[in-house]
Structures are given as structure tokens and as C-alpha cells.
Amino acid sequence: MNAAAPEKDFDCLVFIGRFQPIHLGHLAVLREALKRARQVIVLVGSAWQARSLRNPWRFAERQAMLRAAFDDKENARLEVSPLLDALYNDDVWVRDVQRKVRDLTLPTLARLPRIGLIGASRGQSSYYLSLFPQWESVSVPVVEGISASQIRERLFRSREACEDYLETGAHHDLPPGVTRHIAAFREQPPYQQLLEEQRLLEQYRKAWAQAPYPPIFVTVNAVVVQSGHILLTRRTAAPGQGLYALPGGFINPHERLLDACLRELRERLRLKVPEAVLKGSLKDQRLFDEPHRSWRGRTLAEAFYFALRPD
């Protein structure tokens, strides 16, 4: 007669992260979650972000890395789902998390499920807990010496540095399945593009190395809407070469923000709408100041919303 499976503390434990990439510290949290809960929900943040040095891998790639770290039996108890970024609205983000957990939680229970939020004892887990007071907290000791940002720095410093890291150091930080995924990614065009962005980033850092304070850049963006269409441009150089973007750029030293925005529309896009019409169509403006919005450094962006008449 088989022994009964040990009773779990939780019906569901939720683990939220970016997993860029998934490393042994993440695995320590997930293995503890699998011990203590019938079901584990992994919510992968920055799921729709464009590739960048901070977010090199898309959701599907990170999902595959995570699945590769577990066997079939463990994977059957893992739910992996993309999570919306709402950098300027915690309420939107919280509702998205709650909706996903509600939809994914075991549907056969005849009672309210016992749900917890699990994370490393250091980091942002305490911040998440303040947003979900209805869920219990489970803290897992940190695996010392592992940093996702340091891993990315070694992987994208150069092709040689990446090869050296994967051959000599990955077993300290990364599960074997994740190492294989990264080795395959290294042979794809996005990796070469990210190497180019790393080279440009190093040039930026060198140029500002003698500044007495870390630089803060100020940019403007135009949100021009007409008949339900938004005016976009395509980036011709790194970072984000080939991606669509809002028109905009850096301000000149003696320019007001709105004047800089109008200049960018005039010079870069050759927009034929008269300046007086644009000013009359200005409906709103807002500052976007998320610290990681640009790899160049701290960049403040003032966005101007123009609603043009349909005729």
C-alpha cells in the first residue's frame, strides 16, 4: 500500500519575477513552493517588453527555460503565465495579478483556496506583500552570490565573455537546461543586436565617467492621434533598432519642453500640420520617470498628447 502524499500547507503559492534569466536562486524558491503547495503559479513580469539588455528574453523563451529546469511531474503542478507591466499604476497591476491567480487556481475546490505569495527574503517580495494583504507570506532564504544583473552583464559583455561564462561558470548560477537555451540563443540574430547595444552602452558610460554626478537626461515624446490612429516612427539605430516608437528626442539646452516636442515633429517626421494647429490640439501632458526606462541612464520623458480633428 502506497503511503499517502504529505499534506500541503497551501493550495497555491504565487511567485512573481522577471526571470532574466531564471537561475538557481529562483529554483530554490520554486522548489520550496512545490514542497508546500499543491499548485505553483509563476507570473513572468515584463512579458511584453521589447528586447533590451535588461530584458533580453521574451516570455516564451523564459517559459521554456523555466520548464527545462523541472521534470514532467513537477511541470504538471506549475502554471507559468505572462504578466502585464503597469509601471505607473499599481492598481492595474494588482488587478491583473489577482485575475490571473483567480483564473489559474485549482478550480475543483469546494472552499476558498489558501493562497500565499512566495519569494526570497531579500528583494521586492516585501513590496509585493504590501499590495496583497489578503495572501499569506512565505519567505525563502536568498541563495548568496547570484545576481541576474551580473549574469546578464557577463553574457552580453562580449561573445567571448559569454562563451567563457557558459563553459566555466554557469554551473554555479544556472540550471543545465537554462544554459542550453542561452547557448542556442547566442547563435541567433537578437544576441548580436544586444551585443551592439552593450557596446554603445559602454561608450555612454565612458563619456560620462568624469561627470561629478550621474547624468539625468530629459526627452520629449509626441502622442499624435487622429481618427483612432497613432503616429509612430521606426527606430533606425540602437537601442531598439527596427522597433516602432513614439516620435521624440532630447531637448536642446535653451528649449522649452513643448517647443522641443514640436521641433522633433517638424524636423524628424516632416509633419505638415501647422504649429498653431498642433498647439490647439494639445489635450494633455505627463512626465514618465520609471528609473529603468532607458539603458542610457536615468531619463525623464515628457509626453504631449495631441488629438487632431479627423478632417
For the chain, the C-alpha Rg in angstroms (whole number) is 23
Give the integer Cα–Cα distance in Å for 304 and 291.
20
Give the integer Cα–Cα distance in Å for 261 and 251.
8
Looking at the structure, tell me whether residues 23 and 141 fall in a common domain. yes
**Residue 5: its pLDDT value, please?**
54
The pLDDT tens digits of the residues spanning 261-306 come to 999 999 988 898 999 999 999 999 999 999 888 878 889 999 999 9
Residue 280 placed within a domain: yes
Per-residue cell: 107: 478550480
Listed residues 145, 177, 203: the one ending a domain? 145
Residue 28 placed within a domain: yes
Residue 201 placed within a domain: no
Per-residue cell: 226: 487622429
Looking at the structure, tell me whether residues 233 and 141 fall in a common domain. no
Structural contact between residues 282 and 306, judged by C-beta atoms closer than 8 angstroms:
yes
Residue 174 placed within a domain: no
Looking at the structure, tell me whether residues 23 and 133 fall in a common domain. yes
Query: 65 vs 238, which has greater pLDDT?
Result: 65
Percent of the chain with pLDDT over 90: 64
The CATH number for 250's domain is 3.90.79.10
Q: Name the strand (E) or helix (H) holding 67.
A: helix 59-68
**Residue 257: its pLDDT value, please?**
97
User: What is the DSSP-derived secondary structure letter of residue 22?
Assistant: -
**Would you list the DSSP string of 95-145?**
HHHHHHHHHHS-TT-SS---EEEEEESSSSHHHHHHH-TTSEEEEE---TT
Looking at the structure, tell me whether residues 140 and 221 fall in a common domain. no
Q: Does pLDDT of 234 surpass 60? A: yes
Give the integer Cα–Cα distance in Å for 3 and 178.
34
Confidence band (pLDDT; 50, 70, 90) for 310? confident
Give the integer Cα–Cα distance in Å for 297 and 290.
11
The C-alpha cell 509612430 sits at 232
Residue 265 placed within a domain: yes
| pLDDT, the chain, mean | 90
Kindly give the pairing relationship between strand 37-44 and strand 78-82. parallel
* Whether the predicted model's global pTM rises above the 0.75 cut: yes
Looking at the structure, tell me whether residues 29 and 128 fall in a common domain. yes
Looking at the structure, tell me whether residues 139 and 241 fall in a common domain. no
Confidence band (pLDDT; 50, 70, 90) for 121? low
Number of domains making up the chain: 2
Listed residues 145, 164, 182: the one ending a domain? 145
Average of pLDDT values for 191-215?
90
Give the integer Cα–Cα distance in Å for 191 and 183.
10
The CATH number for 41's domain is 3.40.50.620
- C-alpha angle with apex 39: 69 to 48, nearest 5 degrees? 60
Give the integer Cα–Cα distance in Å for 24 and 180.
15
Listed residues 145, 170, 205: the one ending a domain? 145
The pLDDT tens digits of the residues spanning 29-41 come to 999 999 999 999 9
Average of pLDDT values for 73-92?
92
Residue 255 placed within a domain: yes
Alpha helices (runs of H) in 169-253, residue ranges in sequence order: 170-173, 176-185, 189-207
* Range from 140-144, 153-157, 259-263 carrying the lowest mean pLDDT: 140-144
Confidence band (pLDDT; 50, 70, 90) for 209? confident
**Would you list the DSSP string of 134-175?**
TSEEEEE---TT--HHHHHHHHHH-HHHHHHHHHHTHHHHS-
Q: Which residues of 212-230 are buried (b: 16+ CB within 10 A; e: fewer)?
A: eeeeeeebbbbbbeeeeee
Structural contact between residues 13 and 36, judged by C-beta atoms closer than 8 angstroms:
yes
Confidence band (pLDDT; 50, 70, 90) for 141? confident
* Range from 111-125, 141-155, 250-264, 272-286 carrying the lowest mean pLDDT: 111-125
Structural contact between residues 240 and 52, judged by C-beta atoms closer than 8 angstroms:
yes
Confidence band (pLDDT; 50, 70, 90) for 1? very low
**Residue 112: its pLDDT value, please?**
83
Looking at the structure, tell me whether residues 22 and 135 fall in a common domain. yes
Three-state SS at 283 = strand
- Residues spanned by the domain of 70: 10-145
Residue 186 placed within a domain: no
Looking at the structure, tell me whether residues 108 and 227 fall in a common domain. no
Residue 72 placed within a domain: yes
